[in-house]
């Protein structure tokens, strides 16, 4: 057994217990205390049975409600169908069937809703699973529309798709009228009915093919009152339309009803006095409007006298109007009568002859300048000679409603010369026999003489390039002719016709002084001389030329540590923007703008890195020029040169000194090697060994050999020859030699330690100088 079913049973038992308690309470309430209930009372028995039946019904309903609230369900599908078909003819019984497919575990309370064009037309609550049926007993065109069904179970909703029902065929309406013969303007009552139709209906009434009336109602019939204003036979009919938004369906035409409208035997009559004679301006004119015919049933009758849209008079049965005749009163007068909606009219044309014609104002000259002579003429071309003469007509002239001629005159007026403001609206008036006529207004705009023109240049003026010159006058009426002159020759001319146009001339100058050769003149009145402007005065820009770059100090004198100035100069109009460049660099070294024709760039403490090729650019509003390259070589500073020279001299001196010393050293060694000889040591330990060297000894000097076999002493060996000694001595005496004396302390001779050596042994000669200067070889 499921949990839902247990819940239902439990709830039912609880409801049954409550019912039993109520029943017991009701039973006990019928027996008084101490009173014994009767054994059998039929009336009481039936009451008790009814009570129990009521309680049982209550228990069942409670059980169903509990079961419904606890049941599980899902709405699977909702379908709407139209039976017998979607398109039916009028009068067919149509059934709208709504079928809901619901899966549930118990009883459910279902709410069905039927919609037509999103409007609720039927609603029903049921606990059965049967289809909901909504019947249209006699379908009408008004039932045409889109139908949809919606099912709601415990707040859960599902709708079907929409199905369109189309009902064809409308009932033919019936027209009826309360009377068929009536008089003009009399109201009659007409009815148009279609008993079998429903919905929103618009009824239309027609007189033959002419629309008379239309009315929209929510019923299938309409009643209205119509009035016919013209006599004659008529045929009336009606039809209707059933509104089906956004469309409508039209019925067939109803039956025709023939009616007769009888004419009212009354007519309007218009009369004019004087009549039968010529009416001239100034005559008294009387016009009357009356009614002729049977006035017995003339209640509500009214007459009107009018001319065009101007109502002159009105009355119950007659209207009169009197006035002084004027030419503009000529035309058609109308007399009309109204009785209800019946309107009848009568007209009469009246011609009034002019006493004199409308004056015409003329002006000479047609174009006038301020302070010029102006002639005004006012004349009436025609007049009635049998009433007045030409001299009887008097004239006046007005400007902006101001009378220029207080007294009447013969029609010709000359405006005084020098009147500054001639502009305005001029008109004139002619008077005769108390009749006044005005001419049409004539606007006059006095022209203004042109003022002295100004000549200006548009934009920048550059020598050798075309530019525009503008010639303009602050005052002056158009058209104005402007002429450009160069000295005494006409260059060009133009005429300005419109306010937004300008006189502009293209020119080109080849020298800056040519600018003052140009003038312009302006003229707008051929009778007045043209006015000439001042000379054209404006800033002239001369293109730059002859650029040059100068270096200070001179190129040959630029040395390290100096201040170098790069001066860029050009010929042309300032302001000039100067830029200095070093070749190989895209960005300029320096940029400045000057009002002079030259500028400089200073480089402080130049060094070898500032060497290179330099150039400058100059730019003004006309062009850009570039100088030639200038090569700058930064030389070494003077103190560096002196230091280098001093160092070089010092090096040379050191080298020379070294060479001299080396030379002398080598020379002394050679001389010593040539003359030295080895002598035995003096026996006296206190004597000294003196060695003398002369220049001749260098000739026999041989450098020592380096090696194993170098056993020979650095001093050359020669044989002991007395003669040679003598010659050497002699040579030594003949040549002054530098003597080197070596003092050798005598040491004790140890024969064992100093062996005698022969052959390659070194031989020392000891030369002792005698007191006489002779050398003795020992």
Q: Hey, is 739 helix, strand or coil?
A: coil
pLDDT of residue 418: 63
Distance CA 417, CA 429 (A): 23
State what percent of residues in the chain have pLDDT above 90: 46
- Which of 15-24, 369-378, 597-606, 645-654 is predicted with the least confidence, judged by mean pLDDT? 15-24
Nearest to 219 by CA among 246, 237, 192, 245: 192
- Is the preceding peptide bond at 274 cis, omega within 30 degrees of 0? yes
**Local confidence band at 482 (pLDDT 50, 70, 90 cut-offs):** very high
Lowest mean pLDDT among 1-15, 132-146, 612-626: 1-15
Cβ within 8 Å of residue 706, ≥6 positions away: none
Number of neighbouring beta carbons within 10 Å of residue 573 = 21
Assign 369 a pLDDT band (cuts: 50, 70, 90): confident
Confidence of residue 176 (pLDDT cuts 50, 70, 90): very high
**pTM score, two decimals?**
0.42
CA 196 – CA 198 distance, rounded (Å): 7
What confidence tier does 762 reach under pLDDT thresholds 50, 70, 90?
A: very low
Residues with Cβ within 8 Å of residue 347, at least 6 apart in sequence:
270, 332, 333, 334, 335
Query: Which phi and psi (to 5°) does residue 271 adopt?
Result: -135, 150
Query: Is residue 203 scored above 70 in pLDDT?
Result: yes
- Res. 637 pLDDT band, cuts 50 70 90: confident
Could you give the residue ranges of the DSSP H alpha helices within 349-495? none
Residue 560: the pLDDT is 87
DSSP label at residue 444: E
User: Strand 87-89 to strand 163-168: parallel, antiparallel, or no bridges (unpaired)?
Assistant: parallel
DSSP H or E run through 126:
strand 119-126
Q: Which of 414-418, 504-508, 540-544, 761-765 has the lowest mean pLDDT?
A: 761-765
Contacts of residue 341, defined as CB under 8 A and 6 or more positions apart, other chains included, come to 185, 227, 229
Q: Which residue has the higher pLDDT, 97 or 758?
A: 97
Task: Give 339's pLDDT tier (boundaries 50, 70, 90).
Answer: confident
Q: What is the pLDDT of residue 185?
A: 77
Task: Give residue 148's pLDDT.
Answer: 95
Banded model confidence at residue 205, pLDDT cuts 50, 70, 90: very high
- Residue 15 CA to residue 130 CA, distance in Å, equals 29
Helix (H) / strand (E) containing 28: helix 3-29
CA distances from 417 to 368, 397, 421, 447, 451 (A): 11, 17, 11, 14, 20
Residue 59's pLDDT band (cuts 50, 70, 90): low
| pLDDT at site 49 | 63
pLDDT, mean of residues 613-627: 95
User: Over 60: is that where the pLDDT of 355 sits?
Assistant: yes
- Report residue 209's pLDDT band, with 50, 70 and 90 as the boundaries: confident
Average pLDDT for the chain: 79
The pLDDT score that the predictor gives to residue 340 is: 73
Of the given ranges (193-197, 409-413, 503-507, 701-705), which has the lowest mean pLDDT?
Answer: 701-705
- CA dist 257 and 236 (Å) reads 5
Angle at 440 between CA 436 and CA 444, to 5 degrees: 130
Residue 142: closest CA among 169, 173, 175, 114 = 169
Q: Where does the pLDDT of residue 705 fall: very low under 50, low under 70, confident under 90, or very high at 90 and above?
A: very low
**Over 50: is that where the pLDDT of 160 sits?**
yes
Cα separation, 406 vs 396, whole angstroms: 7
Q: Are 287 and 332 in contact (CB under 8 A)?
A: no
Instruction: Count the residues in the chain.
Output: 778
Asked if 351 contacts 369 with a C-beta cutoff of 8 angstroms, the reply is no
* DSSP annotation of 433: T
Orientation angle between helical segments 3-29 and 42-70, nearest 10 degrees: 160
CA atoms of 428 and 414, how far apart (whole Å): 14
How far, in Å, CA of 97 to CA of 81, rounded? 5
Looking at residues 753-778, what average pLDDT do you find?
A: 38
Quick check: 261 and 232 in contact, CB under 8 A?
yes
* pLDDT mean over 199-215: 93
Range 631-651 average pLDDT: 84
Instruction: Give the per-residue pLDDT at 434.
Output: 87
Specify the pLDDT at position 697: 35
Q: Which of the residue ranges 325-339, 401-415, 478-492, 612-626 would you say has the lowest mean pLDDT?
A: 401-415
pLDDT score recorded for residue 95: 95
Whether residue 430 contacts residue 394, with contact meaning beta carbons closer than 8 Å, is answered with yes
When pLDDT is cut at 50, 70 and 90, the band that residue 402 belongs to is confident
Quick one: which of 529, 448, 520, 462 has its CA closest to 491? Answer: 520
Half-sphere exposure of 642 (CA within 13 A, CB side): 3
Report helix, strand or coil for 660: helix
> Which one, of 14, 26, 21, 24, lies nearest residue 59 by Cα?
14
Which domains are present in the chain? 73-167 (2.60.40.10), 171-262 (2.60.40.10), 266-353 (2.60.40.10), 360-444 (2.60.40.10), 454-541 (2.60.40.10), 545-635 (2.60.40.10), 669-777 (no CATH)
Most confident of the ranges 4-8, 81-85, 421-425, 636-640:
81-85
Provide, rounded to the nearest whole percent, the portion of the chain with pLDDT above 70: 75
The answer to whether residues 689 and 766 touch, using CB atoms and an 8 Å cutoff, is yes
pLDDT in tens, 734-756: 444 443 333 334 444 443 333 43
**pLDDT of 167:** 93
Report how far residue 152's alpha carbon sits from residue 112's, in angstroms, rounded to the nearest whole number. Answer: 7
Note the pLDDT of residue 33.
41
Average pLDDT for residues 534-560, to the nearest whole number?
Answer: 91
Looking at the predicted structure, is the pLDDT value of residue 712 above 90? no
Q: Of residues 760 and 212, which shows the higher confidence score?
A: 212
Mean pLDDT, rounded, for 657-682: 70
* Predicted pLDDT of residue 50: 59
Based on C-alpha coordinates, what's the Rg of the chain? 75
Q: Where are the beta strands (DSSP E) in 487-606?
A: 489-496, 503-507, 518-523, 531-532, 540-541, 545-552, 564-571, 576-582, 590-594, 598-603
- Across 342-362, average pLDDT: 90
Count other C-beta atoms under 10 Å from residue 496's C-beta: 21
What are the DSSP E strand ranges found in 228-341? 232-244, 247-250, 257-262, 266-273, 279-280, 284-293, 301-307, 310-315, 318-324, 331-339
| Residue 459 buriedness (CB in 10 A; 0-12 / 13-18 / 19+) | exposed
């Amino acid at each position: 057994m499921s949990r839902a079913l247990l819940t239902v049973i439990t709830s039912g038992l609880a409801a049954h217990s409550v019912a039993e308690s109520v029943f017991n309470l009701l039973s006990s309430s019928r027996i008084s205390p101490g009173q014994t209930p009767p054994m059998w009372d039929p009336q009481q028995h039936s009451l008790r049975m009814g009570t129990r039946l009521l309680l049982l019904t209550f228990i069942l309903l409670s059980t169903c409600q509990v079961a419904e609230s606890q049941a599980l369900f899902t709405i699977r599908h909702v379908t709407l169908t139209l039976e017998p078909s979607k398109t039916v003819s009028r009068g067919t019984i149509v059934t709208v069937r709504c079928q809901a497919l619901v899966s549930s575990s118990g009883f459910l309370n279902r709410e069905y809703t039927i919609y037509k064009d999103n409007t609720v037309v039927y609603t029903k609550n049921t606990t059965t699973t049967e289809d909901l049926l909504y019947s249209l007993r006699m379908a009408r065109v008004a039932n045409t529309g889109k139908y949809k069904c919606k099912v709601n179970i415990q707040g859960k909703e599902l709708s079907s798709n929409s199905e369109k029902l189309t009902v064809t065929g409308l009932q033919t309406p019936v027209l009826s009228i309360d009377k068929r013969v009536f008089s003009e303007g009399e109201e009659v009552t007409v009815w148009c009915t279609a008993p079998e139709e429903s919905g929103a209906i618009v009824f239309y009434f027609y007189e033959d093919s002419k629309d008379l009336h239309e009315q929209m109602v929510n019923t299938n019939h309409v009643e209205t009152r119509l009035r016919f204003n013209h006599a004659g036979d008529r045929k009336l009919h009606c039809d209707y339309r059933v509104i089906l938004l956004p469309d409508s369906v039209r019925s067939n035409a109803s039956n025709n009803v023939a009616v007769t409208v009888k004419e009212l035997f009354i007519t309007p009559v218009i009369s004019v006095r004087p009549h039968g004679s010529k009416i001239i301006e100034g005559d008294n004119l009387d016009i009357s409007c009356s009614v002729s015919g049977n006035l017995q049933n003339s209640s509500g009758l009214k007459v009107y006298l009018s001319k065009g849209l101007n109502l002159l008079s009105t009355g119950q049965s007659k209207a009169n109007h009197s006035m002084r005749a004027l030419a503009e009163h000529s035309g058609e007068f109308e007399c009309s009568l109204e009785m209800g909606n019946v309107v009848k009219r009568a007209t009469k044309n009246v011609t009034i002859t002019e006493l004199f014609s409308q004056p015409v104002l003329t002006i000479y000259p047609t174009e006038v300048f301020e302070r010029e002579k102006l002639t005004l003429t006012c004349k009436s071309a025609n007049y009635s000679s049998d009433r007045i003469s030409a001299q009887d007509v008097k004239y006046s002239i007005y400007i902006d409603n101001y009378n220029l001629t207080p007294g009447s005159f013969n029609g010709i007026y000359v405006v005084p010369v020098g009147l500054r403001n001639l502009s305005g609206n001029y008109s004139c008036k002619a008077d005769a026999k108390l009749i006044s006529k005005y001419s049409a207004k004539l606007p006059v705009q006095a022209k203004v003489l042109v003022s002295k023109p100004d000549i200006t240049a548009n934009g920048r003026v550059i020598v050798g390039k075309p530019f525009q010159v503008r010639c303009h006058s602050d005052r002056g009426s158009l058209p104005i002719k402007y002429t450009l002159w160069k000295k005494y020759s006409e260059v060009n001319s133009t005429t300005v016709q419109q306010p937004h146009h300008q006189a502009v001339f293209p020119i080109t100058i080849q020298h800056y002084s040519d600018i003052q050769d140009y003038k312009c003149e302006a003229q707008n009145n051929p009778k007045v001389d043209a006015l000439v402007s001042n000379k054209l005065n404006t800033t002239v820009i001369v293109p730059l030329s002859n650029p040059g770059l100068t270096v200070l100090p001179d190129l040959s004198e630029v040395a390290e540590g100096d201040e170098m100035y790069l001066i860029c100069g050009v010929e042309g109009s300032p302001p000039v923007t100067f830029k200095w460049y070093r070749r190989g660099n895209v960005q300029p070294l320096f940029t400045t703008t000057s009002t002079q024709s030259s500028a400089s760039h200073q480089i402080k403490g130049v060094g070898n890195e500032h060497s290179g090729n330099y150039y400058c650019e100059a730019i003004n509003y006309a062009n850009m020029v570039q100088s030639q390259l200038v090569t700058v070589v930064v030389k070494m500073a003077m103190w560096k040169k002196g230091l280098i020279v001093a160092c070089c001299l010092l090096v040379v001196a050191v080298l020379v000194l070294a060479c001299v010393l080396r030379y002398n050293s080598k020379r002394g060694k050679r001389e010593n090697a040539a003359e030295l000889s080895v002598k035995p040591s003096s026996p006296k330990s206190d004597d000294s060994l003196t060695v003398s060297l002369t220049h001749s000894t260098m000739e026999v000097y041989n450098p020592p050999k380096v090696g194993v076999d170098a056993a020979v002493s650095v001093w050359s060996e020669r044989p002991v020859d007395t003669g040679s000694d003598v010659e050497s001595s002699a040579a030594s005496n003949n040549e002054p030699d530098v003597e080197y004396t070596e003092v050798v302390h005598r040491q004790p001779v140890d024969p064992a330690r100093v062996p005698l050596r022969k052959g390659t042994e070194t031989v020392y000669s000891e030369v002792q100088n005698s007191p006489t200067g002779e050398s003795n070889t020992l």
